[in-house]
């Protein structure tokens, strides 16, 4: 494993997202039909480009094929019904390749972007000029990142409550079922959440 991060890893998440959206848009245009003749090599070229990007990110195309393999069911699901309905093969190939390519590109983005970096750039984007109207509508950058942090904190707390409730119910000779567990879970979670809000207020946090 190479520890050095690729240029794709280091690219700012905002730019990467923009590039991703434009690439997906580009391969989604029905280029093959522009002049009336089929050119399925255009989406195929897109796929090759994506493989190249994976190679750039992970210094081998192994990861590309790994992700492609993950999509096998989806690919079958998209192709088989169309073939059964008699859609011409090049059209089917074109559309399948396009969907596959879009999924692979979006996954590449996720694979090369740390969640924290993405959180930071969301906060940064909200501070930027174009998005200032959103801020004026009340969507403060600090509030958004605070909400992210709070949710990530809350997930382990919820799992802790689930464990305690399961235990308490089995101790009473009860098989914990979703309904039985959910009411105490909601009560414990809401109380935790209200106490948490108070502690935040005491630390001078405002929304």
Partner 1 sequence: MAASNKITLRDLSRIAIFAAIIAALTFPGAIPLGTGVPITLQTLGVMLAGVVLGGFRGALAVALYVVLGLIGLPIFAEHSSGFGVLAGPSAGFLLGFIPGAFVTGLIAHSGSKFSVVRTLIGSLVGGIAVVYAIGIPVMAGNLQVDLATATGYSTPFLPGDLIKVALTVVIAFGLNRAYPKAFKN
Partner 2 sequence: MLIELDAVSVAFEGKTALDNVSIKLDQQRIGVIGLNGSGKSTFARLLNGLVQPTSGTVTVGGVNPANDAKAARRQTGFIFSNPDVQIIMPTVIEDVAFSLRGSGLSKDEVQAKALAALQRFNIQHLANQAAHSLSSGQKQLLAICAILVTEPKLIVADEPTALLDLVNSRRIAQALLGELPQQIVLVTHDLELAAGCDVILRFADAKLVQVGEPSAVIAAHLAENLSAS
**With CB cut-offs between 5 and 8 Å by kind, which of partner 2, partner 1, none does residue 73 bind?**
partner 1
Give 124: exposed, middle or buried? Use CB within 10 Å, 0-12, 13-18, 19+.
middle
Quick one: which of 15, 27, 205, 16 has its CA closest to 102? 27
Binding of residue 126 to partner 1 (CB under 8 A): no
Query: How does DSSP assign the chain, residue by residue?
Result: ---SPPHHHHS-HHHHHHHHHHHHHHHHS-GGGTTSS--THHHHHHHHHHHHHHHHHHSSSHHHHHHHHHTHHHHHHHHHHHHHTT--HHHHHHHHHHHHHHHHHHHHHHHTS-HHHHHHHHHHHHHSGGGHHHHHTT--HHHHHHHHHHHHHHHHHHHHHHHHHHHHHHHTT----HHHHHHHHHHHHHHHHHHHHHHHHHTT---
**With CB cut-offs between 5 and 8 Å by kind, which of partner 2, partner 1, none does residue 207 bind?**
partner 1
Taking the least distance from each CB to partner 1, the nearer of 7 and 73 is 73
Q: How far is the CB of 196 from partner 1 (least distance, A)?
A: 5
When binding is defined by CB under 8 A, the residue of 48, 74, 149, 207 that contacts partner 2 is 149
Binding of residue 44 to partner 1 (CB under 8 A): no
> CA geometry: angle at 151 spanning 177 and 20, to 5°?
115
Stretch that binds partner 2, among 26-34, 44-52, 59-67, 148-156 (CB under 8 A): 148-156
Binding of residue 207 to partner 2 (CB under 8 A): no
**With CB cut-offs between 5 and 8 Å by kind, which of partner 2, partner 1, none does residue 122 bind?**
partner 1
Binding of residue 102 to partner 1 (CB under 8 A): yes
Taking the least distance from each CB to partner 2, the nearer of 26 and 150 is 150
**With CB cut-offs between 5 and 8 Å by kind, which of partner 1, partner 2, none does residue 202 bind?**
partner 2
Binding of residue 145 to partner 1 (CB under 8 A): no
- Count Cα atoms within 13 angstroms, Cβ side, for 44: 9
When binding is defined by CB under 8 A, the residue of 5, 170, 182, 207 that contacts partner 2 is 170
> Which residues are near partner 1 by CB under 8 A?
17, 20, 24, 73-74, 77-78, 81-82, 95, 99, 102-104, 106-107, 109-111, 113-115, 118-119, 122, 138, 143, 146-148, 150-155, 157-159, 162, 178-179, 182-183, 185-187, 189-190, 192-194, 196-198, 200-201, 205-207
């Amino acid at each position: 494993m190479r520890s050095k991060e690729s240029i794709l890893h280091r690219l700012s998440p905002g730019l990467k997202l923009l590039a991703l959206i434009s690439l997906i848009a580009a391969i989604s245009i029905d280029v093959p039909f522009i002049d009336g003749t089929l050119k399925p090599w255009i989406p195929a070229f897109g796929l090759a480009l994506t493989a190249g990007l994976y190679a750039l990110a992970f210094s081998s195309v192994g990861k590309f094929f790994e992700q492609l393999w993950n999509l096998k069911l989806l690919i079958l699901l998209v192709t088989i019904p169309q073939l059964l309905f008699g859609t011409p093969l090049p059209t089917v190939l074109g559309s399948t390749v396009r969907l596959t390519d879009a999924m692979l590109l979006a996954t590449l983005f996720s694979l090369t972007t740390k969640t924290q970096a993405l959180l930071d750039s969301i906060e940064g984007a909200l501070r930027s000029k174009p998005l200032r109207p959103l801020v004026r509508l009340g969507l403060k950058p600090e509030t958004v990142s605070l909400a992210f942090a709070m949710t990530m904190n809350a997930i382990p707390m919820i799992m802790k409550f689930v464990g305690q409730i399961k235990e308490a119910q089995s101790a009473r000779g009860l098989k914990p079922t979703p309904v039985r567990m959910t009411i105490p879970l909601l009560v414990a979670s809401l109380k935790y959440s209200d106490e948490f809000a108070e502690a935040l207020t005491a630390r001078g946090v405002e929304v």
